[in-house]
């Protein structure tokens, strides 16, 4: 279910640009110009995904020689394999999370968003989590090579969600883009002290092209990088960030607007995609 979160702090960090802006806001946030709501990923199902044509992406380097690398997927099959749990649910606005929207072909995963209802009702998208076969971890590092397609009505998120499915256990979104042009990246940690809190960084760049998004989560810090450049680090935050301390897993999802601060779809949209080349999991 969606959960409201306060917007405690926003930092704009340059990725490919030189401007750095800092703003501070306090208070509980609704869907206004000062903040938003954050969605909890739906509970997954083990449904079957169907394939659709996709553009060919560069092939991932076969991992080897790194003893800390414990999991890898380059989507070389025809559907998400059994490590993935696929979302199957209806959102509060009546949009559908469907396993059929999680499509693997030509070496990439595409999460497809489709539908032209401006209310979102009946529109479809997808999501999945690495929540099987050792995907739930207490600390580690995750890397995802992905790109987000520009357009209104759909917002992409790559993050970590608690095994308990309880928002109060903390979560991390290390790559989220809900603005239509996909030139703003949101990276944040969420925790609870009786109320949900968050610490967030906004990074400017072109996220319609391929990037490697990474998060390192340890007992004392959360650090997010884009192509090796740090865009968020809890250790340098002025906030008293509470680091999640219960197992989390990777999730990939594309939200349907108008919800979770994603704008409403237009009446003539074409499908929108979150495309993933590969994912890696390290100790």
Q: What is the pLDDT of residues 126-145, one digit of tens each?
A: 999 999 999 999 999 999 99
Assess if residue 231 is contained within a domain: yes
**Residue 78 Cα to chain centre, angstroms:** 22
For the chain, the domain total comes to 1
Domain span at residue 142? 2-29+69-260+271-282
Domain with 158 in it: what CATH number?
Answer: 2.60.120.200
Answer whether residue 41 is part of any domain: no
Q: How confident is the model at residue 250 (pLDDT cuts 50, 70, 90)?
A: very high
Q: What tokens appear for 142 in the block?
A: 């995750």
Q: Which of 127, 124, 196 is nearest to 153 (CA)?
A: 124
Residue 44 falls inside a structural domain: no
**Helix, coil or strand: residue 166:** coil
Q: Would you state the structure tokens that stand for residue 244, as one six-digit string?
A: 């999640």
pLDDT tens track for 153-210: 888 999 999 999 999 999 999 999 988 899 999 999 999 999 999 999 999 999 999 9
Q: What is the DSSP letter of 259?
A: B
Asked whether 221 and 233 are in contact (CB, 8 A), the reply is yes
Q: Cβ-count burial of 222 within 10 angstroms (0-12 exposed, 13-18 middle, 19+ buried)? A: buried
Residue 35 covered by a domain: no
- The model carries a pTM of 0.78
CA distance 153 to 263: 5
């Amino acid at each position: 279910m969606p959960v409201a979160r306060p917007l405690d702090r926003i930092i704009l960090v340059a990725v490919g640009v030189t401007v750095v802006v800092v703003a501070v806001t306090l208070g509980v946030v609704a869907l206004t110009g000062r903040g938003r709501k954050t969605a909890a990923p739906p509970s997954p199902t083990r449904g079957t995904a169907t394939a659709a044509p996709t553009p060919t992406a560069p092939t991932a380097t076969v991992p080897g020689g790194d003893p800390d690398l414990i999991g890898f997927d380059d989507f070389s099959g025809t559907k998400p394999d059994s490590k993935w749990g696929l979302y199957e649910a209806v959102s509060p606005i009546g949009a559908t999370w469907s396993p059929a929207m999680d499509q693997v072909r030509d070496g990439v995963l595409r999460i497809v968003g489709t539908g032209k209802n401006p209310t979102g009702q009946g529109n479809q998208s997808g999501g999945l989590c690495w929540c099987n076969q050792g995907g739930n971890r207490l600390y580690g590092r995750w890397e995802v090579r992905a790109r987000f397609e520009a357009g209104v009505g759909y917002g992409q998120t790559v993050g970590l969600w608690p095994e308990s499915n309880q928002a109060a256990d903390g979560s991390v979104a290390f790559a989220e883009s809900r603005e239509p042009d996909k030139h703003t990246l949101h990276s944040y940690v969420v925790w609870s002290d009786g109320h949900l809190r968050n610490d967030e960084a906004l990074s400017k760049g072109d996220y319609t092209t391929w990037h490697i998004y990474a998060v390192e989560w340890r007992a004392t810090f959360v650090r997010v990088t884009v192509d090796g450049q740090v865009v968020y680090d809890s250790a340098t935050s002025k906030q008293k960030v509470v680091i999640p301390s219960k197992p989390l897993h990777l999730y990939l999802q594309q939200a349907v607007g108008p919800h979770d601060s994603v704008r409403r779809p237009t009446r003539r949209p074409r499908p929108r995609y979150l495309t993933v080349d590969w994912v890696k999991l390290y100790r």
